[in-house]
Structure 1
């Protein structure tokens, strides 16, 4: 079913009912296909009570990684510290990068001191996306000496984005370009140019700061 049809089927009234009635949400999730469940999870919005908790927990073993990711994301909205062990479990064990990233994000969003040791643990993760979420969670507690010291250990991290965030948020250093060229300008010779060759060799001939990447969360 396409999204325009889903938007008619899953309207605001139904979403409000799903959010405020545990049994209705549980029944809905048990009787819909993956696409419909994903759409509903995307539309839940704020969850100011615990009515959605058990139905969302029931989705965490779903084979669809989008469903698991969105379930974690929605559980995080509840702000229930008792969910910390659940978030940690999926951050450690799930095979999906997105589920693990969202789980660490959920730990951080609790903004609870109990989460600090766990977030520090994930600073050592091999996945930069996971590390970045751990950093974001710890920045709330960055005035604590032990947290600041752990974050500073990442100053030589192999991931450039992580290094830049640590420099900015912990050391107060921001990247400054030596290039007077505007961000949206680039060498005319590169416009609409297709190059066939080894990437590493070709990049040696491309001027610094000719390529700009934008990252969004």
Structure 2
């Protein structure tokens, strides 16, 4: 059997159990990943129970694709298993996908767990937790904990927090009130065509 995108699309609509059967017959990791990566949007009645059996697959990319696919399921599933899986997982790419999937649920019940992930030693995982928490930053506890990360030892984390919470504050501080101006612009003629400022008693200076 030639496994094509067309076959995958047909099976997922006609009988989702057949997708599970198809994957179970594969020994080649690249073929398993091909099937998972080409499932696309899942029907609302898609039976994804077979996916949970693949969460412990030895190949990390298979685990990533399985987690992404579970995140597409229309029905709600118990994320407690995902949280446990996160603690046991060793690969950063898989842990990030777990956090992303938990975050996409937009469930307040997951906030405390996501806040705990901010203490992870891996800055990539911390950044993923930040992205998942920002949608809840109207909650005081969340915004307070996120703002604390402006002092995080990792630059990538600090940058994410700075852009979200502090860059606008600094820009606003640097703006003068409408009726004020800078001293160096007083008593000058501004030429808006060529970008030069002509002071009454000096040569043109570029601004």
Preserved contact between residue 118 and residue 126 of structure 2 (Cα < 8 Å): yes
Preserved contact between residue 80 and residue 110 of structure 1 (Cα < 8 Å): no
Higher strand share: 2
User: Structure 1 residues 48, 129: CA separation in 2 closer, same or farther (over 3 Å shift)?
Assistant: farther
What is the aligned partner in structure 2 of residue 91 from structure 1?
86
Q: Which has more radius of gyration?
A: 2
User: RMSD of the TM alignment (CA)?
Assistant: 2.3
Alignment of 1:186-197 (within 5 A): none
Specify every segment of 5 or more residues in structure 1 that has no aligned partner in the other structure, as ranges: 1-5, 177-217
Preserved contact between residue 150 and residue 162 of structure 2 (Cα < 8 Å): yes
Q: How many corresponding residue pairs? A: 170
Moved beyond 6 Å, runs of 4+: none
What is the aligned partner in structure 1 of residue 15 from structure 2?
21
CA distance in 2, matches of 1:20, 1:109: 27
CA distance in 2, matches of 1:19, 1:71: 18
Normalised TM-score (structure 1): 0.71
Matched, 1:100 2:95: yes
Specify every segment of 5 or more residues in structure 2 that has no aligned partner in the other structure, as ranges: 172-207
Normalised TM-score (structure 2): 0.74
What is the aligned partner in structure 1 of residue 5 from structure 2?
11
Preserved contact between residue 167 and residue 174 of structure 1 (Cα < 8 Å): no
